[in-house]
Amino acid sequence: MNRQRLRGDYALLRTGSLRLLASQENILYIRYLADKNAAESHCLSNSTQLLSAIDDNADQQPAFVALSDELDLIDNIPDDRYVMTTHKKTNQVRWCWSEVLLLNDVDLPLTPMPALLYSALTPINAIVTLADGKQAFVFDFEHLLDYLTQSESKSA
């Protein structure tokens, strides 16, 4: 049986009970979310707003994004979001998380998503079991952006 492994430097990003693993190479910075009121007033809640924030100039006001446990954009910053990250593709967007942990030199058994579940409709491509026994979903950040912008536009 061919057992694939996840190797490298990853960031564990948590939104409530959802745990996501993303490559650290896409993260520009991690900061404490100091002003939740400002974040709340500039929170993006749909794909049109997200696409606009991605395309805007660097001198624009930063925008904030929070995800639900179902990987949907939500229109507020939940009370449990304390950390924000920016990413190479979306440097004007602050992604708000409950927790961010940097995991260096990861070497974990990888469970690929079953073909039935893995499609263009999900940014998740595999599952790993962490040292604490909890599962996390491995994703590619660009696929997450595609998922958020396409799924929102289809439901509009």
Specify the pLDDT at position 96.
Answer: 97
Structural domains in the chain (count): 1
Q: What pLDDT is stored for residue 57 in this prediction?
A: 55
In this predicted model, what pLDDT tens digit does every residue of 83-93 receive, in sequence order?
999 998 888 89
Per-residue H/E/C for the chain: CCCCEEEEEEEEEEECCEEEEEEHHHEEEEEECCCHHHHHHCECCCHHHHHHHHHCCCCCCCEEEEECCCCCEECCCCCCCCEEEEECCEEEEEEEECEEEEEEEEEEEEEECCCCCCCCCCCEEEEEECCCCCEEEEECHHHHHHHHHHHHHHHC
Residue ranges, the chain, pLDDT below 70? 1-2, 57-59, 115-121, 151-156
Q: What is the extent of the structural domain holding 16? A: 5-155
